[in-house]
Amino acid sequence: MNEIKELTDLHPDVFRIYAGLDDPWMRSVSLRCYAATPTKTSVALPLTMQEIQEGQLFEPFVRLKCEQAQELMDSLWQCGIRPTEGAGSAGAMRAVEKHLQDMRKIVASKLKVDL
């Protein structure tokens, strides 16, 4: 069986990693990964954990290109997973920026100054 060593060497159209909601009541999400070429399809198998010595360096179990990480993040978002902290979504930020612009206009008109 041929193994794919470096997922980052695969073109984004060939390699996919995505999340899917298993059961909304149990609140579990599955991650799936596959790579497809015209002649074969390969899938990621369940992770195997290995004990290491304290302080021992170890390689990441997967490396993703930014486009692949974005695809994973988007699929997690579709499953309802949101960051616990942070600036929020781009839409929320745009709404805050628009609100601030409106407040600047009100202040400028009341104080008769240019901001």
Q: What is the pLDDT of residues 84-98, one digit of tens each?
A: 865 556 667 778 888
What range defines the domain where residue 68 resides? 1-47+62-82
Tell me what pLDDT residue 74 has. 94
- Is residue 108 domain-resident? yes
In this structure, are 97 and 70 located in the same domain? Answer: no
- Is residue 98 domain-resident? yes
Low-confidence ranges of the chain (pLDDT < 50): 1, 4, 12
The enclosing H or E element of 36 equals strand 28-36
Tell me what pLDDT residue 46 has. 93
Rounded CA separation 91/55 (Å): 42
Ramachandran quadrant class, 64 (left: phi over 0; alpha: psi -120 to 50; beta: rest): beta
How many domains does the chain divide into? 2
In this structure, are 43 and 92 located in the same domain? Answer: no
Tell me what pLDDT residue 13 has. 56
